C-alpha cells in the first residue's frame, strides 16, 4: 500500500514539473490576462488601452529594438527605444507633440521588460503627461490585436 502511495506522489510530481516546464518554455504559451487589480502606478491594461484606441485617444509607442519593430508592431506605432533615443526623438518628436490631447501607451518586448518604463519616464520628463506603460507588453497586445 505504501509503495502505491509513493508511486502516485512521484507521478504527480512529474506531471506538475512537465506542466510548469511547458508553460514556461513553450513558444506559443498563452499570455496570461492582466488583472487590473495589480496594476503598478502608470500602468494600463490591454483592454483599457484598446478602449482608448477605439476612441481615437491613443498613440502607441514601441520601446523594442528596431529589428523587432520592423517585424511587427501596433498599427500606427512610433518607434522610441533606448538605443536610438536621440535620433528617434528628433525624427518623431515634432509629430508626437502635435498629436494633441492623446494618451501615450508604451510597450516593450515582454511582461518583464523595463524598457517601456524607462521610455515612459523620458517622455514624461519632456512634457508628455498622459503616458502609460502597457501591462503585459507586446505579447499581450499582439494577442489582443490578433496580429499574424
Q: Is 145 helix (H, G, I), strand (E, B) or coil?
A: helix
15 pLDDT band, cuts 50/70/90, is: confident
How much is the pTM? 0.72
Query: pLDDT tens across 66-115, in order?
Result: 999 999 999 999 999 999 999 998 988 888 878 878 999 999 998 778 99
Query: How far, in Å, CA of 41 to CA of 137, rounded?
Result: 15
- Choose the weakest-confidence range: 24-38, 45-59, 117-131: 24-38
Query: How far, in Å, CA of 7 to CA of 134, rounded?
Result: 45
Question: Which one has a higher pLDDT value, 147 or 27?
Answer: 147
Query: pLDDT tens across 44-61, in order?
Result: 999 999 999 999 999 999
Domains and CATH numbers, the chain: 39-145 (3.40.250.10)
Q: Give the 3-state secondary structure of 96-140.
A: HHCCCCCEEEEECCCCCCCHHHHHHHHHHHCCCCCEEEECCHHHH
What does the pLDDT average to over 36-49?
85
Question: Which one has a higher pLDDT value, 9 or 66?
Answer: 66
Amino acid at each position: 500500500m505504501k509503495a502505491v502511495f509513493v508511486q502516485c506522489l512521484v507521478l504527480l510530481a512529474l506531471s506538475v514539473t512537465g506542466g510548469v516546464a511547458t508553460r514556461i518554455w513553450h513558444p506559443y504559451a498563452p499570455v496570461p490576462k492582466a488583472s487590473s487589480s495589480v496594476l503598478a502606478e502608470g500602468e494600463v491594461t490591454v483592454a483599457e488601452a484598446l478602449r482608448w484606441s477605439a476612441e481615437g485617444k491613443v498613440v502607441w509607442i514601441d520601446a523594442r529594438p528596431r529589428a523587432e519593430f520592423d517585424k511587427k508592431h501596433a498599427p500606427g506605432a512610433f518607434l522610441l527605444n533606448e538605443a536610438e533615443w536621440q535620433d528617434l526623438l528628433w525624427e518623431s518628436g515634432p509629430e508626437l507633440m502635435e498629436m494633441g490631447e492623446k494618451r501615450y501607451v508604451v510597450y516593450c518586448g515582454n511582461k518583464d521588460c523595463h524598457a517601456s518604463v524607462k521610455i515612459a519616464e523620458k517622455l514624461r520628463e519632456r512634457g508628455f503627461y498622459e503616458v502609460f506603460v502597457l501591462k503585459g507588453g507586446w505579447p499581450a497586445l499582439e494577442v489582443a490585436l490578433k496580429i499574424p
